[in-house]
Amino acid sequence: MPGPAAFRAAFTLKWDWLRRQSLTNTLALMRIDEMLASTRPVFSVEFFPPKTDEGRQTLFETVEVLRKLDPHFFSVTYGAGGATREGTLDTTRAIRDQYDSEAMAHLSCVGETVESLREIIDRIADAGIENILALRGDPPRGEKDFEQPEGGLGSASDLAALIHETHPEIALGGACFPEVHPEAPSLEADLAYLKTKIDNGVSFLITQLFFDNQLYFDFVPAARAAGIDVPIIPGVMPMTGFRQIARISELCEATIPDPLALAMEALDGDERAEFELGVAYATQQCADLLRRGAPGIHLYALNRSPATRAILGALHASKPWEEPATAGAA
């Protein structure tokens, strides 16, 4: 991939284009698996449910800005229990109903019984939401290991089976890990488990964040060899602030390539320079993924619009998926 100077030049060029454009969202609401079967590329943006009125206002201002750039769907992460859980459903429903944009609710096993999961799934379906990302969920804060809740489920595969059994009309997504799930003993074991998600109804996958595209292009053929034949959407998180994203990456056990880390460290904490370099790097990363056959891009937006707006605008301007394909994976 190009060096920092090229990243900054690309960012400046595409940002200028973005300021001159105003795209209109004309996408029909539909299940995500149907989108992936009929459209390339599929762009999506991930949010977390806000906990305050101010956060809610910021999030929906972000939705209003980004929907003009034609993302195919938004997804909303899940917080187990209480108001955070309710926030997932309320936010997903508002995006779909008030902003006429397709939305996907995340759902995890943490802190839930099978009975409560059935209730939540019914409420999601009753709200007209047709897409769920089925997750096991991380251990609650302060706990090292995940423990299956009493009367609950212990895996995303089991959750997918429950959703598919009770609401087969819902499109199911699942998570996957190009650098191998931290708890898996090997890539082979991780892929064998991932295949059970597909067998239980998952029809598309979204990857954990990564910064080295070769990880994705090594992972996809390995998944195909393991019998996993659904679309695998790469997840990209723009490194708009080095310390924050480095902390997130450490928690996810996602590696940061040395050249990117060194370039960020050389900026000596200059927030604007970090933003520009991070957005430019992510734009080039997405363009390379699309040029080499990825079915779309899933952007982790952290509830803010500037970086995601710049990246989507740049990709719409350059259309790398229309360039001659190079070796890669679909």
Give pLDDT tens digits for 25-67. Answer: 445 689 999 999 999 999 999 999 988 999 999 999 999 999 9
The residue ranking higher by pLDDT, 247 or 27, is: 247
Residues with a catalytic annotation lie at 46
Alpha carbons 162 and 81: distance in angstroms, whole number: 19
List of E strands, 168-213: 171-176, 202-209
What is the dotted CATH code of the domain comprising 24-241+290-306? 3.20.20.220
Q: Which two tokens stand for residue 64?
A: 């209003």
CB 257 within 8 A of CB 248: no
Beta-ladder partners of 232: 205
Does this model's pTM top 0.75? My answer is yes
Confidence of residue 326 (pLDDT cuts 50, 70, 90): low
Residue ranges per domain, the chain? 24-241+290-306
Residues 6+ apart with CB under 8 A from 3: 259, 263
Residue 3 has pLDDT above 60, yes or no: no
